[in-house]
Amino acid sequence: MSGPLLLPTWADLEATTPAVVVTMRRYLEQIACVLRPGSVNGADLALRSFTTFLAQQEPRVDSIAQVSRRHVEDYKPWLAARPGQTRDRLRPATIAHRLGTLRMFFIRIQEWGWEQAPTRVPMFPGDLPRTDHPLPKALDDAAAAQLLRAAQADKRALVGVTVEVLLRTGLRVSEYTALPADAVVHIGAGPWLHVPVGKLGEDRYLPLHPHLVTLIADYRTAHVPPGHPLLLPRENGRALDRHTVTRFINKAGTAAPGWPTSTPTNCDTPWPPRPSTAACP
């Protein structure tokens, strides 16, 4: 068995459905040429889940070409009953990702002309469940200004610094919490923020408003011990995590009437993820 959800490995599955495994692994090799490793790992998990279903429930299927609509319809309740990492059942977002990945697999191998492809794609967009929460959306100018004022008025300095940096830079929470102590650099006459390699697989430089530079410097002087490797740790020197950052955002949002409660997303993006133009004068 393999992985947090205890799915069999490809080697285990090969003993039951060898031809299916060959097709799946060939597909993963192809997408690995154009997608990032994290995306390939997600596809691997989704395809192993469907292959596990075939091995357990439909052992007579010995080729992807034999997969029909009936198999997909039987797979959906089987998948919905699977345990999650921390819950008795998978989250709707996880189920939607698994089914969406499987549907794209069928679409691609048909487009590529593989002989293992079913005659018709056995899945439709309507097979994907709706997720519990909408995707994050950008703040409008009024909401951004409202949140910023509430954060600046907070007695805890790190709340204001965190919300203001996220609003003015559009950083992912995971990028923000991992910023090294030397992340603020000067290029030419202006300050820039160096964001190391992260989810996008590349490092980048973001222009910093001088007010942010002063805000960061003041916080470090008051709360960060000399030699600490992170740019903005907590007051006790411990590293920030995405749940703490989410609490900061919600704390500031409590002071802003009508502000929606936020939750951490899979990509560690704050709610909402992008800065307003009015928030970056």
Average pLDDT by stretches of 10, the chain with 281 residues: 69 94 97 92 96 95 96 96 85 92 97 96 92 66 83 89 90 90 91 80 84 93 93 92 87 65 45 40 33
| Interatomic CA distance for residues 272 and 170, integer angstroms | 9
What pLDDT score was predicted for residue 250?
82
Could you give the strand order of the β-sheet that contains 204-207, starting from the edge strand earlier in sequence? 184-187, 190-195, 204-207
pTM reported for the whole predicted model:
0.58
Kindly give the pairing relationship between strand 190-195 and strand 204-207. antiparallel
- At 86 the pLDDT is 76
pLDDT at 200: 55
CA distance 265 to 273: 10
Q: Which two tokens stand for residue 281?
A: 């004068």
Give the Cα separation of 88 and 174 in Å (integer). Answer: 27
- 175 vs 202: CA distance, rounded Å: 12
What is the residue-wise DSSP string for 55-66? HHH-TT--SGGG
Report domain extents, the chain.
10-127, 141-279
CATH architecture of 10-127: Orthogonal Bundle (1.10)
What pLDDT score does 49 carry? 96
Which residues, at least 6 apart from 214, have a Cβ–Cβ distance to it below 8 Å? Answer: none
Which pLDDT does position 98 carry in this prediction? 96
The 8-class DSSP code of residue 25 comes to H
User: Under 8 Å CB-to-CB from 281, ≥6 apart: which residues?
Assistant: 209
Q: Judge contact between 50 and 211, C-beta under 8 A.
A: no
Give me the pLDDT at residue 255, please: 62
Provide the CATH number for the domain formed by 141-279 in this structure: 1.10.443.10
Domain 141-279 in the same topology as domain 10-127 = no
Q: Which of 184, 34, 60 is nearest to 112 (CA)?
A: 34
